[in-house]
Structure 1
Amino acid sequence: MATASELPDCLLVEILSFVPVRDRLRSSRVCKRWRRLVLDKTLWKRLDLSPYRVGPGVLWHLQRHYLGSGLRMLRVRGRLLSVPRGSLLTPALLQELGKCCPHLTCLSLVEEDLRKMPFSCLPPSLRSLELELCEIPQSWFPPGNDPSSLPHLERLVLNRVPAFSDTQLRGLSRLEALSSLVLRITYRVTLRGLLDALPSLGNLQLLELSGCSVPADGVLQCMTGLLPKLREFRVTVAGLTARGLTGLRERQGLEILSLMGPPSDPDELSARDILTSCPILPNLRILKLQGLRLGSADEAILRERLTHCMIIVEDLPLEGWGLGD
């Protein structure tokens, strides 16, 4: 059996890619060869620091010595909910990250305070931005006619971001490349905000509105005649009725539909209601039903009659309602 010292560099680098970041950094102290391997840029394509509570100094050190043009994804956990509180990121650090890592496409921030962080500081190469349990200023996204500093941003996920409001939603119109928008537990978004914002988000192919304050019927009403490119739609069924479901009839290009429960009233939505709407969606490939409390007989009817698409019935994940990590 070959020892570690007899293995080729390419195989050792592959092994190190499965090693947690903390242990990977420690292994660089073994010898000069291991230090050289740990510095290999292919090891730092995806960096998830969310399991650790790190400070700004650690991020600066990683950026100067390990990160570079190979970095594609970065996920970090801030100090918004820790003691002492404070910001992990600074405008200077974000701007330097954009310079040193020009191919960074996905940035995921958890529990970070961004209230003193201008939107323009984010790396311009980003195609995906995820914010979870973060604080943002009341006016963060590009206002008015200002061009966006993220010209390539295609995917935006906001999960339990309490400050996100109608004003913020309207600002998304400056993100011209935006094709996927996920809003979870954004209770400050209202029907008026959706009516104002959706006409300028015509490039959306995926839209998720889960745990929002707008009833599902109102959401479908807002979408009437809009979002012609929409291919995937996810919505919580609170306030969804059979009449509201008829609003899906114009969604001829819809391929994936996710209805997430539980309904506030068990009589609001039934398998029969779903059957009246889904057969008229010729391109529907996947129907996902989460937490709708359908009986086994209802499931059997759906599978028997909706033969043109895959039906997935499952419980609603706790994180879908902000109850899990």
Structure 2
Amino acid sequence: MKQGGLKKPAPTAKTEESCDKSASVDCRPRLKRRKISDSDEKLNESVTDGNKRRWSAVETDVEPEILEDMGVGMLEDEGSCDSQKTQKRSLEQESEPSPLSETVSEPNSNEVRLQPAQQDRSLDYRKSNELGEDFFLYRRKQTMHHKGQDAFLKLSDELVLMIFRWLPKNMLVRCALVCKRWQRIAYDEVLWTRMDLGSRTLNPGSLGHVLVRGTIILRLAQAEVSDPVFFSDCPLLTREVPCKLQYLDLSMAVISEEGLADLLNVCKNLRKLSLEHCTVSDNVCAAIGQNHNLDVLNMSACYGVTQSCIKSILTGCRKLSAFNVAWTDLPVAALNTLCTELPTSIQRINISGCRKTLNDNHVYQLVNACPELVELDLSDCTTLTSETISIVTQLDKIEYLALSRCYGIAPSAYLQLSSVSSLMYLDIFNLMSEQSITNLQTNLPEVDVNKFLFSSVARPTVGIRRTSIWGLRVRD
């Protein structure tokens, strides 16, 4: 009796039905069958009884169902296997439901409900078995492409630039991130000529990014500028890009002395500058003196103004036409330097607030140094006397004179101003009664008395206007 005669049986109808069920859940057992030799066939024929019952060489009482669960089966001859396969196909064709019944019938509770994705995979696998073992279906997800044309490609750079002029500055920065062409157009100097950053807080280095764009008019009134003003790699510091700033308003801005000095050191072309209520130093004033074309300078209420500061400014800025140093608490030495070294181009000056330092001699020196004066403000200088009126009458082009709260000047002395034909406005607040002012107005019919409460000498803004400095718009 040969041990090799025991072969793995062919799959029965029941096993194939279980395989079909398992294939739906992507379980694919592959049953292998080895061909039975001729000697084995003879042995099987000799041991078969009259009822054609197969008798195995190895007797066993194990039921076929248990063997099927273990993955093995009893051997059958090829003829019986072929007949069983044919019978199975006929049963499957008879029991195959119609498409309509498949859609209506409900699955059994024992069957596993497949998800749509699993059903697709099992369907692809069944198709692959029909086509071949090495065939596999894979469907790639199609990506959606937005088809269209860029309308800006049809426009010239000049037209795109005109469109960008309507955008605010923060939107221009975002447009510069779109492409290289938009970046080149968005950073054009025409779009960054005017900047209004008043009452804002600037992060360190932000001012450098603004000035690199070619800004000419910049308003920083009441702004807070953080240190450092420029980073070490800023093109303005390395002289790769020149600073084109000409009009700068720093009135009441919060900025350190070092930051102010760094800012003014890169500005060589300033024409009008306002540092009202800022703290200055010798380095700051030395940087101001480098602007030889400076025309208007407002330093009212500044702290730290010394004689060296005044000398540095007047030495470098010989084209000044308007200078405001009101309420800077100038010492006597600084006043002497101011009144004797002022350039002859000065037409408007404000030295108010020198309560105990400014005297008649200073006024005399000032009139001799600046014979072209048009506006003169000497308010709150309590040490002045009536002689000052006699000195002022020597100015042929004077139009505005302010002597408010100069208590040392007698009211009758103002009648001498009738000889000055060019005088148009006279401010003498808190000096006379209403009746005295009326009599003075009668003697000076061509002069408006007490019309302006505050002086406008060298100030960037007058009144409630905050969208322009020195008559120039700061917003597009």
Q: For residues 26-37 of structure 1, what are the structure 2 equivalents within 5 Å?
A: 26=171
Q: Distance in 1 between matches of 2:172 and 2:337?
A: 54
Letter in 1 for 2:337: D
Q: CA offset at residue 201 of structure 1? A: 1.7
Unaligned runs of 5+ in 2: 1-158, 465-476
Distance 1:305 1:227, change over 3 A: same
Q: CA offset at residue 212 of structure 1? A: 3.1
Deviations 1:67-91 (A, max 9, x none): 32xx3321225648xxxx7454579
| Aligned equivalent of 2:396 | 252
Q: Distance in 2 between matches of 1:243 and 1:25?
A: 58
Counterpart of 1:52 (choices 195, 200, 223) is: 200
Q: CA offset at residue 176 of structure 1? A: 1.8
Q: CA offset at residue 182 of structure 1? A: 0.7
Q: Distance in 2 between matches of 1:9 and 1:288?
A: 53
| SS of corresponding position for 1:279 | helix
Q: CA offset at residue 158 of structure 1? A: 0.7
| Aligned equivalent of 1:279 | 418
Counterpart of 1:151 (choices 279, 289, 292) is: 292
Q: Distance in 2 between matches of 1:299 and 1:42?
A: 52
Q: Distance in 2 between matches of 1:132 and 1:89?
A: 22
2:206 is aligned with 1:62: no
| Aligned equivalent of 1:184 | 326
Contact 1:133 1:159 in 2 (8 A): yes
The 10-residue stretch of structure 1 (288-297 or 250-259) with the greater mean CA deviation from structure 2: 288-297
| Aligned equivalent of 2:304 | 163
2:336 is aligned with 1:195: yes
Contact 1:78 1:88 in 2 (8 A): no
Identity of aligned residues (%): 17
Q: CA offset at residue 51 of structure 1? A: 1.2
| Aligned equivalent of 1:104 | 245
Q: Distance in 1 between matches of 2:224 and 2:160?
A: 37
Contact 2:314 2:343 in 1 (8 A): no
Q: Distance in 2 between matches of 1:99 and 1:302?
A: 61
Q: Distance in 2 between matches of 1:225 and 1:281?
A: 17
Q: Distance in 2 between matches of 1:206 and 1:91?
A: 39
Distance 1:13 1:29, change over 3 A: closer
Unaligned runs of 5+ in 1: 1-7, 17-22
Q: Which of 1 and 2 has greater Rg?
A: 2
Deviations 1:148-168 (A, max 9, x none): 521211211112221111221
Q: Distance in 1 between matches of 2:312 and 2:395?
A: 25
Q: Distance in 2 between matches of 1:46 and 1:125?
A: 16
Deviations 1:90-137 (A, max 9, x none): 797694598756542112222322346268714111111211232222
| SS of corresponding position for 2:376 | strand
Distance 1:44 1:196, change over 3 A: same
| Aligned equivalent of 2:438 | 300
The 10-residue stretch of structure 1 (160-169 or 300-309) with the greater mean CA deviation from structure 2: 300-309
Q: Distance in 2 between matches of 1:232 and 1:94?
A: 41
Contact 1:91 1:118 in 2 (8 A): no
| Aligned equivalent of 1:130 | 274
Q: Higher relative contact order at CA 8 Å, sep ≥6: structure 1 or structure 2?
A: 1
TM-score, length-normalised on structure 2? Answer: 0.50
| Aligned equivalent of 2:71 | none
Q: Distance in 1 between matches of 2:281 and 2:204?
A: 21
| SS of corresponding position for 1:56 | coil
Cα root mean square deviation, aligned: 4.0
Q: Distance in 2 between matches of 1:172 and 1:49?
A: 27
TM-score, length-normalised on structure 1? Answer: 0.70
| SS of corresponding position for 2:200 | coil
| Aligned equivalent of 1:3 | none
Q: Distance in 1 between matches of 2:238 and 2:247?
A: 12
Letter in 2 for 1:184: A
Q: Distance in 1 between matches of 2:187 and 2:378?
A: 44
Q: Distance in 2 between matches of 1:283 and 1:10?
A: 49
Letter in 2 for 1:237: D
2:167 is aligned with 1:25: no
Q: Distance in 2 between matches of 1:91 and 1:275?
A: 61
Letter in 2 for 1:202: P
Point out the structure with the larger strand share.
1
